Amino acid sequence: MSEAQEKVLVIDDEPDIRLFVTTRLKRAGYAPIEATDGLDGLRHFYADRPDLVLLDIAMPEMDGWEVIRRIREVSNVPVLMLTAASMEREKIRGLSEGADDYITKPFSGDELLARVQAALRRASISTTQPVAEIYTDPVLRIDFPKHEVVVRGQVIELSPTEFRLLVALTRNAGQVMSQDQLLDQAWGQDYAESMDVVRLYIGYLRRKIEADPSRPSLIETIRGFGYRYRKQ
């Protein structure tokens, strides 16, 4: 059972999915909120201020892509995308749009709860234990408490996962971080996805902070070992 009554907004136009998800969430001690489409989901998001969002992609009125874009304009609340098993592109796009994780349909109740718990735990750590410090080098400046990143004098927008990954790299600047270590620090010990997600997000970060992403000078690949942030 979850001790706190975290609110989980479930946005899905399929009644069977909503019933299954909300039933499992209630049994686990969460307070689920149902929304039948994207517009309804945004109304509940603004009105109920959920702790986590479970978001389907293909919905009437407004699809999941537009919903997550609207959410990310105002909030870093954890968002877990619900994707079809065969749609790998949807998973990649969901992560690039700012989703924290995805759950592939069909999924079990145990998998659902594990991913919800992991996402809420990561969010709790990042909000209740902020590091009151600033990282800076000639290229990059990170205000950890404010989650503000400045590259070459320009403020850039990072998703919550991108920010956690950059924090893990810069706090260990000059040291080689294995993919296991980065997965642990940016996603959590109980994140069970493959290492592909680390490579994917390294690519996202490079496109946002490197002068030339095709020839990275900040985030180095150390073949056979992992990645290293090279302090300039």
Q: What is the mean pLDDT of residues 206-214?
A: 94
- The stretches of the chain forming alpha helices (DSSP H) are 15-27, 38-48, 64-74, 88-96, 109-128, 160-170, 179-187, 196-209
Choosing from 70, 100, 128, the residue where a domain stops is: 128
Q: How far apart, in whole angstroms, are the C-alpha atoms of residue 143 and residue 51? A: 24
Residues 122 and 206 grouped into a single domain:
no
159 and 190 together in one domain:
yes
Using the predicted structure, report yes or no on whether residue 1 has a pLDDT greater than 50.
no
Do 82 and 189 sit in the same domain of this protein? no
CATH number of the domain to which 86 belongs: 3.40.50.2300
Residues 150 and 184 in one domain: yes
Averaged pLDDT, 44-56: 93
pLDDT at 4: 53
Say how many domains are in the chain.
2
Residue-level pLDDT at 13 = 92
So what's the pLDDT on residue 130? Answer: 47
Taking residues 66-89, report their average pLDDT.
81
Instruction: Say yes or no to pLDDT of 92 above 80.
Output: no
Of the candidates 159, 134, 151, the residue with the CA atom closest to the CA atom of residue 81: 159
Does residue 60 form part of some domain? yes
In the numeric block, the tokens 């996962």 are attached to 161
| Domain contains 89 | yes
Amino acid 2: pLDDT: 42
- What is residue 54's predicted lDDT score, i.e. its pLDDT? 96
Residue 20 shares a structural domain with residue 53: yes
pLDDT-based confidence at residue 155 (cuts at 50, 70, 90)? very high
Instruction: Note whether 119 and 17 are same-domain residues.
Output: yes
Angle among Cα 69, 73, 79 to the nearest 5 degrees reads 55
Domain shared by 187 and 223, yes or no: yes
> Is a pLDDT exceeding 50 seen at residue 5?
yes
Please determine, for residue 132, whether its predicted confidence score (pLDDT) is greater than 70.
Answer: no
DSSP 191: -
As a whole number, mean pLDDT of residues 13-40 equals 94
Shared domain check, 13 and 60: yes
Task: Give the mean pLDDT of 207-215.
Answer: 94
Percent residues over pLDDT 90 in the chain: 43
Whether the upstream peptide bond of residue 160 has omega within 30° of 0, thus cis, is no
Mean pLDDT for the stretch of residues 86-103 = 72
Question: Do 102 and 149 fall into the same domain?
Answer: no
Same domain? For 104 and 68 the reply is: yes
**pLDDT tens per residue across span 96-130:** 677 888 888 888 999 999 989 988 887 776 554 44
Which residues constitute the domain of residue 143? 134-229
What does the pLDDT read at residue 216? 94
Between residues 214 and 146, the one the model is more confident about: 214
Q: Would 2 be classed as within a structural domain? A: no
Please tell me the predicted confidence (pLDDT) of residue 128.
47
pLDDT, greater one: 20 or 98: 20
Do 124 and 12 share a structural domain?
Answer: yes
Last residue of a domain, one of 96, 128, 160: 128
Q: Are both 68 and 37 inside the same structural domain? A: yes
Grade residue 189 by pLDDT with cuts at 50, 70 and 90. low
